[in-house]
């Protein structure tokens, strides 16, 4: 104690030396501090599931630590979901023309492969250098489209054989997703026509997904968007059929049970069946559909939310309904986890909190996907890892 006391007095009288000493201690601590080393599973894991359509939309691109990416994908694998949809923002990767930062996509893919999870990539988000000044990150013009094609080809080439499903843009039937330009199916079809052949040359096994269409009842001429049924028909009218391999759609339940029959005037889970009818009517009977966003929300203050018990029951019923949809490849829930709290109703879409607290709905889906029978609180068929 005496030595520490005298040292403190010296540093107090010679404050500039004190600052230098503090900086030195900090630097030494950074050199000697233990580093969290993320170890890959060895041997690599595989997803054990009885329900291969179970899928999660993730937000791993915004995870700062690698350990959080690994933990999220491990939980997804243990839940029995063999597929995720992940957003790979163009602006995050190509920071300036032909200057790429592949660090985060590489981390995500490394751990997804290690956990045996398939990745569907959602593409979009225009960098500032590729769009006019004072436009939003969803604004894209002809010059921007040229750069976007180049980026997509580079992405598809780099990850060929590891990421073979690409969603081109997101919710193109909403004005927000076009930088508030008028919603026009022809504009989106022009994008599909421009990217389709280059992507197939870059990766012959690629699946180009159009969409993902947002569920909305906006009429023609609305400044906000266009009804997804009308928009899809507009895509076919503009010649889209030969320029996508599968269709991605969003079908949320809002406050209705999943069994509620489809109705063109209603937004509900089975609206997906009406989307499918449009595809069949236009000759796309053999083309698959991927539901890339779906689910219910249990926020107590949001008018479009249900109770937590309803959310669990509705979600499980939706999966059972989707079992009978031979045209649907996946039913992906929005969203597995946010890295940080959103402090809005959006937090109540998640299955796991930012602090990795697992919610009851996670275990309910796990029991369904892994085939675990439960009676009360007892596992009759406990999970085996």
Q: What is the pLDDT of residue 154?
A: 98
Q: What is the pLDDT of residue 13?
A: 55
Q: Count of domains in the chain?
A: 1
pLDDT band per the 50, 70, 90 thresholds, residue 110:
very high
Q: What is the pLDDT of residue 381?
A: 52
pLDDT at residue 15 greater than cutoff 90: no
For residue 290, which of 205, 178, 382, 211 has the smallest C-alpha distance? 211
Range of the domain at 125: 54-373
- Give the C-alpha separation, 337 to 345, whole Å: 13
Residue 380 lies in a domain: no
Strands 289-295 and 328-333: parallel
pLDDT at residue 384 greater than cutoff 70: no
pTM of the predicted model, to two decimals? 0.88
Residue 31 lies in a domain: no
Instruction: List the single range of 34-43, 224-233, 273-282 with lowest mean pLDDT.
Output: 34-43
For residue 368, which of 50, 41, 99, 66 has the smallest C-alpha distance? 50
Residue 2 lies in a domain: no
CATH number at residue 66: 3.20.20.80
Q: What is the pLDDT of residue 385?
A: 53
Residue 44 lies in a domain: no
Q: What is the pLDDT of residue 43?
A: 95
Residue 247 lies in a domain: yes
Q: Taking CA 286 as the corner, what is the angle to CA 282 and CA 288, rounded to the nearest 5 degrees?
A: 100
Q: What is the pLDDT of residue 37?
A: 72
Q: What is the pLDDT of residue 38?
A: 87
Residue 41 lies in a domain: no
- Give the C-alpha separation, 146 to 27, whole Å: 46
Q: What is the pLDDT of residue 383?
A: 52
Residue 34 lies in a domain: no
Residue 82 lies in a domain: yes
The pLDDT tens digits of the residues spanning 27-56 come to 433 443 344 578 999 999 999 999 999 999
Average confidence (pLDDT) over 325-348: 97
């Amino acid at each position: 104690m005496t030595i520490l006391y005298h040292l403190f007095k010296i540093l107090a009288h010679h404050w500039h030396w004190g600052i230098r000493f503090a900086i030195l201690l900090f630097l030494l601590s950074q050199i000697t501090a233990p580093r969290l080393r993320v170890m890959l599973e060895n041997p690599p894991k595989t997803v054990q599931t009885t329900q291969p359509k179970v899928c999660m939309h993730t937000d791993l691109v915004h995870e700062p630590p690698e350990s959080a990416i690994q933990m999220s994908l491990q939980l997804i694998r243990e839940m029995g979901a063999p597929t995720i949809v992940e957003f790979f923002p163009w602006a995050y990767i190509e920071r300036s023309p032909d200057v790429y930062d592949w660090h985060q996509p590489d981390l995500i893919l490394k751990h997804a492969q290690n956990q045996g999870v398939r990745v569907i990539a959602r593409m979009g988000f225009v960098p500032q250098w590729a769009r006019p000044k004072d436009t939003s990150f969803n604004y894209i013009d002809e010059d921007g489209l040229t750069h976007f094609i180049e980026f997509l080809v580079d992405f598809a080439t780099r990850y060929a054989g590891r990421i073979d499903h690409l969603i081109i843009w997101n919710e193109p039937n909403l004005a927000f997703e076009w930088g508030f330009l008028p919603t026009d199916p022809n504009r989106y079809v022009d994008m599909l026509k421009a990217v389709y052949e280059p992507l197939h040359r870059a990766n012959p096994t690629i699946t180009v997904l159009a969409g993902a269409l947002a569920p909305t009842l906006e009429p023609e001429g609305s400044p906000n968007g266009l009804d997804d049924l009308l928009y899809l028909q507009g895509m076919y009218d503009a010649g889209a059929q030969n320029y996508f391999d599968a269709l991605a759609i969003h079908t949320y339940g809002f406050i209705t049970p999943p069994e509620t029959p489809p109705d063109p005037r209603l937004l509900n889970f089975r609206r997906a069946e009406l989307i499918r009818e449009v595809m069949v009517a236009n000759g796309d009977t053999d083309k698959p559909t991927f539901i890339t966003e779906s689910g219910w929300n249990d926020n107590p203050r949001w008018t479009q939310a249900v109770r937590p018990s309803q959310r669990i029951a509705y979600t499980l019923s939706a999966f059972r309904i989707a079992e009978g949809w031979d045209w649907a490849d996946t039913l992906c829930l929005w969203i597995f986890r946010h890295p940080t709290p959103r402090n809005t109703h959006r937090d109540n879409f998640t299955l796991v909190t930012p602090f990795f607290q697992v919610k009851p709905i996670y275990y309910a889906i796990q029991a369904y996907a892994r085939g675990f029978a439960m009676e009360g609180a007892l596992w009759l068929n406990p999970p085996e890892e």
